[in-house]
Amino acid sequence: MTNPYAPPRAIVRDIADPSALAIPAERGTRLGASILNGIIFAAMVYMPMLFGAMVSGATAEAIGESSSNPMAVVGLVVAVIGFIVWFWLTIMYMARNGQSIGKKLLGIKVVRTDGSPVSLGRLIGLRGVVNGLISILPLYALVDALFIFGESRQCLHDRIADTVVINA
């Protein structure tokens, strides 16, 4: 028999103080993650396409044909598969922890400035699309990157999206 005068028993998840947990990622680590992302994308998408084109051109030259070679098609197919795998991994990590592949490898992630998890829409929409549209402006990429030397270590795209990159 339950006691009708007992206090309610609810399971409450304690929320840690975000300012105590949010240690901004080092500038070099963020740069490393960005470089890693570029290398991974190039290896998964551009390299198969380039390899297929090179093999196709060398084969066509060796046999004296000017028509397209099946190796070019294979390179393109492998590049498309590489893009799909890269896209899937990137979306999966971003949705789970606010990380790109490079950020995952280097142990950093994107969160809101209040320490709460960042939504996939904010990551793609504000940090990706809006930042990409603004980057049409001359020198924007330089100004965006230079903002990281501020005290908060936030690039301009972080400020636009109300995010910060922290150690995971």
- For the stretch 142-152, pLDDT in tens is 999 999 999 88
Boundaries of domain holding 51: 25-167
CB 59 within 8 A of CB 75: no
CA dihedral 82, 142, 99, 78 (to 10 degrees): 0
CB 106 within 8 A of CB 32: yes
**Structurally, how many domains does the chain consist of?**
1
9 token code pair:
């028993």
Distances (CA, A) of 105 to 68, 91, 101, 162, 167: 39, 15, 6, 23, 12
Cα gap 2→93, rounded to integer Å: 45
Residue 12 in any domain: the answer is no
Cα gap 105→49, rounded to integer Å: 25
Q: Which residues pair with 24 in a beta bridge?
A: 166
Residue 138 in any domain: the answer is yes
Residue 20 in any domain: the answer is no
Residue 130 in any domain: the answer is yes
What is residue 139's predicted lDDT score, i.e. its pLDDT? 94
Residue 90 in any domain: the answer is yes
* E strands in 52-162: 108-112
What is residue 75's predicted lDDT score, i.e. its pLDDT? 82
Residue 14 in any domain: the answer is no
Q: What is the pTM of this model?
A: 0.76
Q: Report the chain's terminal Cα–Cα distance, integer Å.
A: 46
Residue 3 in any domain: the answer is no
Amino acid of residue 80: V
* Residues of the chain predicted below pLDDT 70: 13-21, 56-69
Residue 4 in any domain: the answer is no
What is residue 105's predicted lDDT score, i.e. its pLDDT? 95
Cα gap 112→122, rounded to integer Å: 9
